[in-house]
Structures are given as C-alpha cells and as structure tokens.
Amino acid sequence: MPRRFARSLLAAGIAAPLLLMASGQAEAAVPTDKAAVLSSWTQTSVSSYDAWNAARQNQAAWSAYQFDWSTDYCTTSPDNPFGFPFKNACARHDFGYRNYKAAGTFSANKDRLDSAFYADLKRVCAGYSGATATSCNATAWTYYQAVSIFGLSPAVDGTADAR
C-alpha cells in the first residue's frame, strides 16, 4: 500500500501543475497578419502615415498585435527644429525601427523606413513656402541623412542595441 500511495502522490504532483497550466488563460496569439500590418504602416505614402497615425491614436484596438509604440521622438535632435513640427515623423520612424528590430527583419527594411521618414518630413515642409520651405526642406534632408548614415547607432535610434 505505501508504494501505491507514493505513486498517487507522484502522479498528483505531476498532474496538478499540468491541470493548473491547462486551466489558466493561454497567452493570446499574435494575429498572423502582423507583418503585413506593420508593412502597411511604414510605407512612404500619406495613406500609410494616416493609417499608422489613426492606429496610434487608438492603440488599444491593436493590442493583440503587440506592437511597440514607445518613442523618444527625435532622440537627441530637436523634435521641432526651427519651429518645424517633426515630432510625429520621428515617432513613426521609431515605431518602424523598434518593431522591425523586434521582428528580426530590420536590415531588410531600414532603407524604406528612412525613406518613409524623409517623406513624412517633406510633407511637413510642403505646408510652407518661400525661404521658410527651403529652410524646412534643408532641415528635413539633414534629419534624413542623420538616420540614413547613423541609424544603427544607439544615439540616433534610442536603443541600446547597435545592430
């Protein structure tokens, strides 16, 4: 009888954790179209920017996708240089960098992310005219060149991982 009792305890000791795991909530699965959604929000078009910005304003609706919405905006550069509102363009750029790094496909997408950033900056500048537009476009080009050249640097993309 003691052997049978020991086996029962062993079986109960093994079965109990399995039952607890089975009865607990399973971690929600990330939707299979996450990569497609990420891609659609990181293109150079205004519609891509608008879709990303709408989602950013309603992040709870996209929680199943487990996107990283964190941002430090323009990192060590001014968010609104010379009064030009570049902050949201920087936020979308951070979104692309952080989520493609998490997906392990950053290198394959970096050039497009930087191009989308530049397109966003140029759309900001399109709202100006004359010398102000020229100044804005020159500043946008400088910001684009910085991320294009130094975008793998922690000082530019706000991450500790330089890869």
Summarised one tens digit per residue, pLDDT across range 53-64 is: 999 999 999 999
Model pLDDT, residue 4: 52
Per-residue pLDDT averaged across 26-42, rounded? 90
Give the C-alpha separation, 101 to 95, whole Å. 10
CA atoms within 13 A on the CB side of 90: 21
Please name the CATH architecture into which domain 30-157 falls: Up-down Bundle (1.20)
Answer whether 41's CB lies under 8 Å from 48's CB: yes
Q: Which candidate in 43, 89, 90, 93 is catalytic?
A: 93
The tokens for 100 are 């493609």
pLDDT score for 23: 43
Who wins on pLDDT, 19 or 110?
A: 110
Q: Is the pLDDT of residue 25 over 60?
A: no
Residues whose CB is less than 8 angstroms from the CB of residue 109 and which lie 6 or more positions away in sequence, other chains included: 42, 96, 100
pLDDT grade, residue 8 (50/70/90)? very low
Q: What is the pTM of this model?
A: 0.78
2 or 105, which is more confident? 105
pLDDT at 29 over 70: yes
The residue to which tokens 């946008």 are assigned = 140
Which ranges constitute the DSSP H helices of the chain?
Answer: 2-23, 34-40, 46-57, 87-103, 106-125, 130-150, 154-157
Q: Whole-angstrom Cα distance, residue 117 to residue 119?
A: 5
| pLDDT at residue number 28 | 73
Residue 8 CA, chain-centre distance (Å), reads 50
The verdict on whether 69 is a catalytic residue reads no
